[in-house]
Amino acid sequence: MTKNAIVLGAGIVGVSTAIHLQRRGRQVTLIDRKDPGSETSFGNAGLIQREGVAPYGFPQQLGLLLRYALNNRIDAHYHLRTLPSQIAFLARYWWNSDARRHAIITRAYAPLIENSIVEHKDLIEASQAEGLIRKDGWMKIFRTEAKRDGALAEAALWQNEFGVEYDSLTPADIARMEPHMTGDFAGGIHWRDPWSVLDPHALTSAYRRYFESLGGRFVTGDAASLGPFGSGWKIMTAEGPLEAEDAVLALGPWAAVATRRLGYSFPLGVKRGYHMHYATEGNAVLNNWTLDAERGYLLAPMNRGIRLTTGAEFATLDAPKTPVQLDRAEAVARTIFPLGGRLDPEPWMGARPCTPDMMPIIGKAPRHQGLWFAFGHAHHGLTLGPVTGRVLAEVITGETPFIDIAAYSPQRFNP
């Protein structure tokens, strides 16, 4: 008899997990309050970051921390009134970002990143979404020689240990690659391996259609109604109650609330981020996804226009929008590239779900049968959706997982 499974959360992680379970003979229902890919997966930078073997750490240098405390930067912003409630999470994040501990975490994290391109390639081809993909990497540009040299030294280490490929860029290289960009840049890095996505929401939608072509279905429902039922799980949906042997929680930044109802306590924080699309002036063209590394914003040439994305905002999940980073970033970006008018009626905002050890939570719930977790991917949700979906589906269906996921176990927070 075919076993039923429900996947809660229709972002890139949830949709990918639903595909891999459906492929393995489960009858899967994907459930969300909104259409697939409408939340965090909608607004990312559109990069499948094969180079991103080292997760984003918390600054360690006292001088830099003092500059962040001024709260006037593009790459980070915080809400003062909510900071006390986040101190415990930030303290653990800072502690894990120490150079020695961060190196250990990087080696545990790398297998996910190393398989990100090949697992996306599988789903891109299956969903006939090749037209949404570019395979020419992206670049990071620097304004000072010190920052450039430090980044190049780190890139060399990653190349030696993890096989990451890159080119060192001179100012002349940047001018050649981006003839409409101006600025006194000291050089940069061109990451060769990553792929970029011209419309992240369209990619998730393509994966959703492929999932449905396999016999899976999507229905609207609320994760708050999920509960144990017999030997499995039950949830209310727009089509009535639904029962299944297995339930996967892939709820991104809302996972902490959903798991708390079931008796778990995960130290899940959020880094909120903003984006806006712009036209270009005249015949200006942006050729590459480009990070202005020392200012902390990224410009991406997407189908909807030039997408400008900001760094991290530390605030509660439900706090009102405060897109001050976007305004700061736009002012700087206009000095290096001829952006035209804004194309969106208002700034988009999303929230990245983060753990204090910078690794996702993937695996079986410690105290429930048939309950599985897949969340906490921070800045790499788009990158890691398909690899997470495959490895978790393998575990759920009793296969030998193709990579070891012990380091991502929920038990490290809920023994």
pLDDT of 53-72, one tens digit each? 999 999 898 888 888 899 99
| C-beta of residue 263 within 8 angstroms of C-beta of residue 270 | no
What was the pLDDT predicted at 62?
84
pLDDT of residue 64: 84
Q: What is the C-alpha to C-alpha distance for residues 34 and 42, in angstroms, rounded to an integer?
A: 12
Distance of alpha carbon 323 from alpha carbon 310, whole angstroms: 9
**pLDDT per residue over 398-413, tens digit each?**
999 999 999 999 999 9
Structure tokens of 292? 């202005």
Q: How many H-runs (helices) and E-runs (strands) does the chain carry?
A: 11, 23
- pLDDT of amino acid 68: 87
Q: Within a 13 Å sphere around the CA of 307, how many CA atoms are in the beta-carbon half?
A: 25
Continuous segment of H or E residues that includes residue 191: strand 187-191
pTM (2 d.p.): 0.97
Mean pLDDT, range 169-191, rounded to an integer: 97
CA gap 402, 278 in Å, rounded: 41
* pLDDT (tens digit per residue) in 167-177: 999 999 999 99
Strands 312-314 and 76-78: parallel
* pLDDT 10s digits, 274-323: 999 999 999 999 999 999 999 999 999 999 999 999 999 999 999 999 99
* Tokens of residue 57, six digits: 């750490």
Q: What are 117's two structure tokens?
A: 């391109």
User: For tokens 């976007």, what's the residue?
Assistant: 326
At position 82, the amino acid (one-letter code) is T
36 pLDDT more than 90:
yes
Decide: 75 and 324 in contact? Cβ < 8 Å: no
Element (H, E) at 371: strand 371-375
pLDDT, residue 67, reads 87
Phi, psi of 13 (to 5 degrees): -70, -45
pLDDT given for residue 415 in this prediction = 79
The pLDDT, as a whole number, for residue 365 is 98
Q: Residue 202: its pLDDT value, please?
A: 98
> To which H or E segment does residue 247 belong?
strand 246-249
198-254 confidence digits (pLDDT tens): 999 999 999 999 999 999 999 999 999 999 999 999 999 999 999 999 999 999 999
Q: What angle do CA 354, 52, 153 make, to 5 degrees?
A: 125
Burial of residue 174 (CB within 10 Å: 0-12, 13-18, 19+) is: buried
Give the tokens for residue 207. Answer: 């994966």
Question: Which of 86, 14, 97 is closest to 55 using CA atoms?
Answer: 97
The percentage of the chain sitting over the pLDDT mark of 70, rounded to a whole number, equals 100
User: Tens of pLDDT along 76-121?
Assistant: 999 999 889 999 999 999 999 999 999 999 999 999 999 999 999 9
Contact predicate 409/139, CB 8 Å: no
**DSSP state for residue 221 in the 8-state scheme:** B
pLDDT at 31: 98
pLDDT band at 1 (very low <50, low <70, confident <90, very high): low
Would you give the DSSP letter of residue 405? -
